[in-house]
Homo-oligomer: A and B are copies of this chain.
Amino acid sequence: MDLYEKTVNKNYVYKGKIIKVRRDDAMLPNGNTAVREVVEHTGGVAILATDNDCVYMVEQFRYPFEEVILELPAGKLNENENPKECAARELKEETGLTCATLKYIGCFYPSPGYALESLHIYVAEGLSKGKSKLDPDEFLNVKKIKLSEIRKLIETNVIKDAKTVIALLYYFNYLCKE
């Protein structure tokens, strides 16, 4: 079956600080038209920084959920920023760490039904500790946690953040030497 939908009208209904929102009309494969809502976001990076049998995590308040959650260090891409440079920058800003190697795992779509947002995931190794430097409206706690403990925190659904679960389970499946 041909699945392609063609944009008929592209209409911005909100242009904000980190997102833009469109309410488009699209022509469906059967010739009918339908409303398609799109949230545009510049995308982001997440970094699995690992040191022997541990990984660096951050505790962060996530405003939409009004909840402090445990995530990998991560951040938003600046306009036209290279994802690998963004990963090195965010790792340094959030944890103070610099790394000898940044290995690319892949690009993932957190919510492709409505969000034009891509997340790039990296594994950082060869870590050196420096001083963190957070954005003025960013607050977080850094934690170094054993991989064996993280494995349980994912199994029991304590860790809920999608990029964090993807990066760690990818690591356990394909990269971990254990």
Contact = CB atoms under 8 A, between A and B. Distances in A.
Interface footprint category on A: 35 or more
A70 B155 CA distance: 25
A82 interface: no
B170 A107 contact: no
Interface string A143-178: 000000001001101001111011001101110000
Contact of A115 (B23, B115, B163): B115
A64 B141 contact: no
A112 B62 contact: yes
A140 B161 CA distance: 28
Interface of A: 1, 3-5, 13-14, 16-19, 21, 23-24, 26, 28-30, 32, 34-41, 44, 59-65, 68-69, 71, 76, 105-117, 119, 136-137, 139-141, 151, 154-155, 157, 160-163, 165-166, 169-170, 172-174
30 contacts: A1-B139, A3-B59, A3-B60, A3-B139, A3-B141, A4-B61, A4-B68, A5-B61, A14-B14, A18-B113, A21-B21, A28-B139, A29-B61, A39-B115, A40-B64, A44-B113, A64-B113, A64-B115, A65-B109, A65-B116, A69-B109, A69-B112, A111-B115, A111-B117, A115-B115, A155-B174, A165-B166, A166-B166, A166-B169, A169-B173
